[in-house]
Structure 1
């Protein structure tokens, strides 16, 4: 997994069957699917895997209760089936999660009860357990700290949670397991065309500046919120298809809801639901839905979004968190398919659309983590004949992902755990706020293509998302190991440390907020 060896393989391969641009959930799903079919597969990521939206989700693998309320039956049924496949194929990363909805109005009891029974029915053989009505006493026991004034009871149902960035890293490792190649920090700068057809890309190594001309039989644009910009490299007249939306989240101490159950708040002022989910030993609250016309690489929650989440949670918790209780605040940009009518984004579809340009560029818009595998299958089904590739069926429905332990386990490294624990520093925890060890830092660099302190503290380990201030404090110790492993000079070491600490400052309270 040394970068020099990966670049050497790239130089020595005259043409790839499938070339994918973008190392988020969709691109990685495409790469796993293509490599599993036996196509020579290359994935290029401009930054780090899951740098953008795919590490900033609500951490749910779910059918989507609110999509059911919107009448998107097909999307819900498909997502519930994909939930079952992920629980089977990545049990070290995806786990069943019980949700409880507190009920304060009789109409909500009826409406939500019927809706969640429909959710059970759509899950069918993939059900994780039937929803059921709870008494006031059982609701308070399930959600200690929930407001009891006016409480009529609750409804419990089952879904699943996961670690999004770790699933992305696992998919990247799976690409290698299947014979493919994935490289981060290798941005595509242009599309190559021959006889009016897209025939490859121009790219360069962001670390050392080397330029590459890469030939491919078919190119897939999985650029997420930046997919329209890639489409316009192929066709300058291509109309924009995306209406990006920002989803913000905050992380607080689990003491505000000390339970293994998650809370679903069914009504918010922006037309969404809001979740309170036990995650990484903390409590994750979110999410918002704010339209954005710009596409920053590092979006941060706006002050109003943080206040919105705190205010909404405060209506349901006896002792609600305040500004000073926020340990991390982060935001992601969702690549929603636009309506062309302006306005808000809460009602826009989370389904995906596959587009093929006149030049043969295959682009995907929309989608969500839960259905990444199905999206990858459909995209490769579309791309393979365009590249003249032999027809081969997808096998990813029953494909165990890298590190699959063969049983349900809570260790995100899965079968890689013994490998990590043989490295120096296995017993040395970097910071008391986290479980990250020196050995795990070395493992991330040697086996998971981590290239910076941010790669490790944001995505190989979730320290930045758990406690941003503590992550900033831990940066120097992590950077010492990174510098030694990658032979970085003092200037680069200082630059990386300062850049990460500035990022951590933003995660402390978000944009435009008091620090």
Structure 2
């Protein structure tokens, strides 16, 4: 089949571009070397946020764009995105209170906030978020941002791309590409494809793919590894924390999967070929930072899971990795170069939808098949076709229809699938109707659904990206799942 547009890279940017372009009338092909969201897009801090700390680097345009997108994304995916209130303690000797308040005032007003509550000053000696913290912390601020299931965000964009006619091929690496007869001929281990235009959204591999395509990169890239740790939950309240460190860096402590706390992230320059794992030094750094704030010390022995991702940042000459811009750049090849190629450099998960819209707008000038107008800002992602306040009613409906499901499982299913949960629950009258149980509420019905409709092929795909149940299943249960999937 002749495609109008081929997208290389199944992370959030690639999936977002595929969705947008397919919805504007193009025949779209998405190729991903591994699983969808296998790299950077499943290794974020799970936040849809404006980037409060970016204000220190005077990236006002990026913060404004991110804050505008924050509520837009919440509106189209209210199952996998939900608001969080963050608590930012003032620390004597670090950023002064007036500076924090000024930054938060800008944060509240430059991005068109409509539904999220505004910042307020609090006293941690009287606020629920103060209970697990050391007594030395008193004055603080409480502000709004959002939580996102990052890997599911990618899958839902890919699903919606398919709903608009796209083809999605995970585990299909690009091995060669060349311009032929005014278009692109692409080679993969599973066959050849042709397309009139090409988008390189390969994330950390963007320069490698540019080289494969015979293109000279327009921008230098800085690879920065961010690592996170997960521990048993450190607090029972629903607030998250934004903490400052003496070295000028910040990190978050966030409620995670009901029974855990997520702590991160680090910023370390990364060299191609290095393992993408949290080093002992990074783990110790995060534990020490958290222990500066919480009454109960956190040690590496408390860590139940770590994950790391490499962020492909545009190299803007910043000295420290945490200072490098999180903005993005789009480079469209000249007309005289032949078939169009658009390369995507940088970006962050919060701005993926706007990045995709800009990318397709650029490509539309060169690709007649893109006849439609921008549309993704207001169209729900699969399963997200309910109001911002509709998650609790959805959970109540699932509880009434499936009384055998415990509250934790109902919460997980509603937040993962939204209104699509019925596609695999399918009127079941008990656990037995859902087939083999693998533990923690995961059944064969759900596994089969993920395999048949969401491209899951391995236990890792299911346990660490489509769900986060790898935190709950024992080694024996995980092996049983792998055996069920065929190894």
TM > 0.5 fold call: yes
Tell me the CA shift for residue 392 of structure 1: 2.8
Residues in 1 aligned to 2:438 and 2:68: alpha-carbon distance in whole angstroms: 39
Match of 2:73 in 1: 86
Which runs of 5 or more structure 1 residues have no equivalent in the other structure? Answer: 1-12, 206-211, 484-492, 494-515
1:295, CA displacement in angstroms? 4.6
User: Given that residues 143 and 257 in structure 1 are in contact (C-alpha distance below 8 angstroms), is that contact kept between their aligned partners in structure 2?
Assistant: no
Q: Does 1:130 align with 2:108?
A: no
- 2:207 pairs, out of 215, 228, 252, with 228
TM-score normalised by length of structure 2 = 0.88
TM-score normalized by structure 1? 0.84
Change (3 A) 1:286 1:66: same
Aligned to 1:400: 380
Shift of 1:476: 1.3
2:264 equivalent in structure 1: 286
* C-alpha displacement of 1:163: 0.7
Shift, 1:388, TM fit: 3.8
Q: Does structure 1 residue 274 correspond to structure 2 residue 260?
A: no
Deviation string 1:336-389 (CA, Å, 9 cap, x unpaired) is: 0113x4853111111100112345321001001101100101111112222343
Work out whether residues 125 and 131 of structure 2, in 8 Å CA contact, stay in contact via their aligned partners in 1.
no
Q: Could you tell me which residue of structure 2 aligns to residue 168 of structure 1?
A: 154
**Please, which moves more after superposition, 42-51 or 445-454?**
445-454
Cα RMSD, aligned residues only: 2.0
| Residue deviations 1:392-428 (CA, integer Å, cap 9, x gap) | 3211111111112413324311122112213876376
Change (3 A) 1:83 1:331: same
Asked whether the equivalents of residues 20 and 219 of structure 1 are also in contact (C-alpha less than 8 Å), the reply is yes
- Any idea what the Cα deviations from partners look like across 1:117-146, whole Å, max 9, x if unmatched? 11111133435111011023234x224211
1:90 Cα deviation after fit: 0.4
Q: What residue in structure 1 maps to residue 222 of structure 2?
A: 243
Residues 294-321 of structure 1 show CA distances to partners (whole Å, capped at 9, x for unaligned) of 155x611011110110011110010022
Going from structure 1 to structure 2, the CA distance change for 1:294 and 1:125 (only over 3 Å counts) comes to closer
Distance in 2, matches of 1:353 and 1:425, equals 50
- SS in structure 1 of the partner of residue 157 of structure 2: helix
- Equivalent residue, structure 2, for 1:416: 420
Counterpart position of 2:19: 32
C-alpha distance in 1 between matches for 2:273 and 2:148 = 26
Deviation, 1:457, is 1.2
Q: Partner of 1:376 in structure 2?
A: 356
Residue in structure 1 matching 2:459, options 432, 446, 453: 453
The residue that corresponds to 2:438 in the other structure is 430
CA distance in 2, matches of 1:453, 1:478: 6
Contact 1:30–1:376, Cα closer than 8 Å, also in 2: yes
| Secondary structure in structure 2 of the residue aligned to 1:126 | coil
Residue 199 of structure 1: aligned partner: 184
* Matching of residues 48-447 of structure 1 within 5 Å: 48-105=35-92, 108-139=96-127, 141-149=128-136, 151-194=137-180, 199-205=184-190, 212-235=191-214, 237-238=216-217, 241-254=220-233, 256-267=234-245, 269=247, 271-281=248-258, 282-295=260-273, 299-339=276-316, 341=317, 343-357=319-333, 358-359=337-338, 360-407=340-387, 408-409=390-391, 410-422=414-426, 426=434, 429-431=437-439, 434-447=440-453
Kept in 1, the 8 Å contact 2:65–2:111? The answer is no
Where does residue 463 of structure 1 map in the other structure?
A: 469
Question: 1:242 and 1:198, CA in 2 relative to 1: closer, same or farther beyond 3 A?
Answer: farther
Deviations 1:41-70 (A, max 9, x none): 110111100000000100000011001222
Q: How many residues align?
A: 453
Please state whether the residue corresponding to 1:137 is helix, strand or coil. coil
Deviation at 1:104, TM superposition (A): 2.9
